[in-house]
Each structure stands twice: as C-alpha cells, then as structure tokens.
Amino acid sequence: MRESIHKYFQVGTISWMSYPNRDLLEVIQKVASDDFFDAIEVPTKMDDETRAKAAKMLAEGHLKVCCGAQPRLLGPKLNPNDIDEEGRKAAEATLIEAIDQAEELGAKGIAFLAGKWAPETKDQAYAQLLKTTRAVCDYAATKGMNVELEVFDFDMDKAALIGPAPYAAQFAADMRTTHSNFGLLVDLSHFPTTYETSKFVIQTLRPYITHLHIGNAVVKEGCEAYGDQHPRFGFPNSANDTAELLDFFRVLKAEGFFNADCPMVLSFEVKPWGDENDEVIVANTKRVINRAWALLED
C-alpha cells in the first residue's frame, strides 16, 4: 500500500502484554512517546493516584485510549456467564466498575470476554451472558460508552463460551436487537485456536466487528507456548507470520474495513516469551506489520 496504515487504522498495543513486567506508568510513557502508536490498551484496575497520572499522560500523548477488562475477570476467575447467579452478579459488578474507571482514563468503552462453559449447561450460560452484557451495556449507554466482547477459543485454552465465529455472530445479533453500543473484538491470534481463517471470521462477523487485534499462536499440541499465549511472530511451530497478517489485511480491505474517516483500532497483542526482551519483541511486531502492509496491493 502506498498509503500509510495510519490512514485507515489507529495502530495500538496492549500495554500489559507488550511490557508485562514493567510499571504501567512507564509503559504508558514509552508508548505515548512513540509516534508509531495511535492507540493504547490499558487495564482498568489500578489505584486512584496511578489512574489520575495515567489519564493525564494519555491525554498529553493524544492517544486513543482503550480499556481491557479481561484481566479483572481472568485473575479472580470471575465468569459473566456463571450459572450460579451470585457468581454472575460478581462478574457484572466488576465490569460496571470497569466502565467508571475507563471513563476516568478517557476511554469510550471496555472490552471483556465470556467465561468458561460446560456442554450440559451451554444454553443457560448463553442466557446468563446475555443478562450480564445487557446490564453492562445499559450502564455504559448512560455515559455514551461502548462494550465489546472479545472472541476467544472454545476448547483449547481459555475455553470461553464465545466463539467460534458463527456462535459469536449469533450472540452479537441477539445483543444488537436491544443494544446498539455493543460490538465484537476479533483477534488474528485466536483464529488458529478456533480452527478458522481470516476470511471466514471477518465475513461471518462483519456487521458486528468494532475492534481488531493481531498476534500469533502455537496450536500444535506438545509444542512450547501452546494455546492462547500470544508469542512473537516467527516463534517456533507457530501459526501466524507475515503471510497470515497480509492475508488478514487483504480480507479487511475487501470487506470494507479501510475507513479513513473513522479508523478502527488495530492493536497488536504480542508478548515476550521466557527471557525474551520486550523491546525487541515490540520491534519484531512493527517489522511484520510494516512488511505485510508494504506487500498489500493498492
């Protein structure tokens, strides 16, 4: 492409993945000081003093701020589709709290994920997830904010209720009948874990996608970093590299996602593995993005 990727997307990174062992404020300063980035995704849970400092720096950096509530569910193992109503309410409460904290950081919404499920209670879990998501969307709407559900694997690692893509489409369609402030977040690194392709996922979920992630995964059992671990591009036995990212870009272009007037956030979710250097892994990801974009035809 002759045009810059930044014309069509707000390129970002997931702060807690790119720099998992660093102080959050240090990470925000690093990303805000790098004009490769138009956006940053930060967690919502932090003390009030840190949140105030973070909000100030994010505003100074003129960054698009996105807030991920996934860690506040995964850490304490809260499940928004918990069959137990008290468990579901606990997940709902933390997501509503996340909306308030995201607002303080200057974000226009939050993203989260579905919880684990069991075959014998799948329908009940689906109904519970609808209940939670509608309640969170109701609250977000009072603040003019949006809610996004990230599509994960269903049987490999996270084993979340939503996806695969057709099931995610069903859920999103049900949500959109009542809430226009709901959307889906899709991640290239999850496509191999749901046994799907970029073309299939993007075409299936096209009306509901509001946010994009890119990354890598190892889906060969018994291999290092197997599952939803987001290793670097070029990691041994992994599924995604420059060719797969180029295919992803081609599908997005063909399906009308290149929107210069309202560019969607496209963040990379890649983390250092073992003793890998975080700066090197971030540079690796930028190189892959730049190469794939350069190979994309106008």
What is the distance of C-alpha 249 from the center of its chain?
17
Confidence of residue 263 (pLDDT cuts 50, 70, 90): very high
pLDDT of residue 123: 98
Confidence of residue 224 (pLDDT cuts 50, 70, 90): very high
Single out the residue of 264, 149, 151, 157 nearest to residue 204, CA to CA: 151
Count of positions (residues) in the chain: 298
Percent of the chain at pLDDT > 90 equals 100
What the block records as the tokens of 79 is 């499940």
DSSP conformational letter for 232: P
Confidence of residue 221 (pLDDT cuts 50, 70, 90): very high
Scan for tokens 């109701």, then name that residue. Answer: 138
Residues 172-198: what's their mean pLDDT?
98
pLDDT of residue 82: 98
What is the distance of C-alpha 6 from the center of its chain?
19
d(CA 40, CA 83): 34
d(CA 103, CA 52): 11
pLDDT of residue 266: 98
Confidence of residue 147 (pLDDT cuts 50, 70, 90): very high
Single out the residue of 235, 201, 195, 198 nearest to residue 216, CA to CA: 235
pLDDT of residue 150: 98
